[in-house]
């Protein structure tokens, strides 16, 4: 849209986190490859609900990280919108130090370390579960994000990303440091809305405004959301490790 008080335009990004993913199988075992997990049945319902909420919204472009959980979420949200889905690997989730790079591959220490892993973002050399540093995450995510934003052929763009990835973008939009990441929850299949103002040159960004943060279609007041996503994953990991210690696995 054209801006009312100056020569410029406003564009809008609909930034989502993927819906609930199947990090554990039906037997309660952590997945061996967290990169390839699909959505759960609940996750598919979450994505369908968000698709209904965004039904009247026209998108000019749609992008995701390319991991299955973001592809499936985006396809369900877009539903009958005939729009190509771009894969941007640089928007993949922050990588832990274990096999597969996810929470389920973290060294079996304390589950609370998983729950509070984003606190490391406030440290100069902070790393996610002994893997990728948050500075490295910021560099790859913002490099890809800036390339998407700089392209002139869109007004409304859907981006389906991940919890830590979205926090990096939101910290940038709010002018906040990486240490703010644990202060911004990203529930499964949540929606954030970011407006970008440009002058006559589409590549020249003049203002950024966060219009919505962590909106969930099925529970907008968060009445059913008390634990964070990482706290729930920490609980799942703790239950799995306890069953391993008992010899149940």
Contacts of 225 (CB under 8 A, 6+ apart): 185, 187, 216, 219
Q: How far apart are CA 240 and CA 233, in angstroms?
A: 10
Which residue in 19, 32, 4, 6 sits closest to 240, CA to CA? Answer: 32
Per-residue tens of pLDDT for the chain, all 249 residues? 777 777 788 999 999 999 999 987 766 677 778 888 999 999 999 999 999 999 999 999 999 999 999 999 999 999 988 899 999 999 999 998 865 565 544 444 578 888 999 999 999 999 999 899 999 999 999 999 999 999 888 999 999 999 999 999 999 999 999 999 999 999 999 999 999 998 877 678 899 999 999 999 999 999 999 999 999 888 887 776 676 666 665
Are the C-beta atoms of 40 and 31 separated by less than 8 Å? Answer: no
Q: How far apart are CA 244 and CA 238, in angstroms?
A: 10
Which residue in 175, 167, 162 sits closest to 208, CA to CA? Answer: 175
CA 123 to chain centre: 21
Q: Domain spans of the chain?
A: 9-246
Burial of 225 (0-12, 13-18, 19+ CB in 10 A): middle
Tell me: the pLDDT tens digits for 225-249? 999 999 988 888 777 667 666 666 5
E strand residue ranges, 90-204: 156-161, 191-198
Q: Which CATH number fits domain 9-246: 3.40.50.1240, 3.90.180.10, 3.40.50.720, 3.30.750.24?
A: 3.40.50.1240
pTM: 0.92
């Amino acid at each position: 849209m054209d801006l009312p008080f100056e020569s410029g335009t406003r564009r809008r990004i609909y930034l989502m986190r993927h819906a609930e993913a199947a990090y554990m199988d039906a037997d309660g075992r952590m997945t061996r490859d967290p990169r390839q997990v699909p959505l759960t049945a609940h996750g598919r319902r979450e994505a369908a609900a968000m698709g209904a909420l965004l039904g009247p919204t026209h998108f000019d472009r749609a992008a995701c990280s390319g991991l299955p959980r973001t592809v499936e979420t985006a396809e369900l949200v877009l539903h009958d919108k005939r729009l190509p889905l771009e894969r941007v690997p640089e928007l993949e989730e922050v990588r832990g130090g274990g096999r597969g790079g996810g929470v389920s591959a973290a060294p079996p220490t304390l589950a609370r370390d998983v729950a509070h892993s984003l606190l490391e973002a406030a440290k100069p050399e902070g790393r996610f579960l002994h893997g990728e540093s948050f500075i490295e995450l910021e560099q790859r995510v913002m490099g890809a994000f800036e390339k998407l934003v700089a392209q002139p052929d869109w007004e409304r763009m859907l981006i389906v990303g991940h919890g830590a990835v979205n926090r990096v973008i939101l910290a940038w939009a709010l002018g906040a440091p990486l240490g703010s990441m644990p202060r911004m929850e990203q529930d499964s299949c949540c929606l954030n809305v970011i407006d970008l103002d440009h002058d006559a040159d589409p590549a020249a960004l003049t203002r950024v405004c966060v219009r919505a943060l962590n909106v969930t279609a099925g529970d907008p007041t968060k009445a059913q959301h008390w634990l964070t996503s990482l706290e729930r994953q920490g609980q799942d990991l703790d239950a799995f490790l306890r069953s391993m210690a008992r010899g149940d696995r």
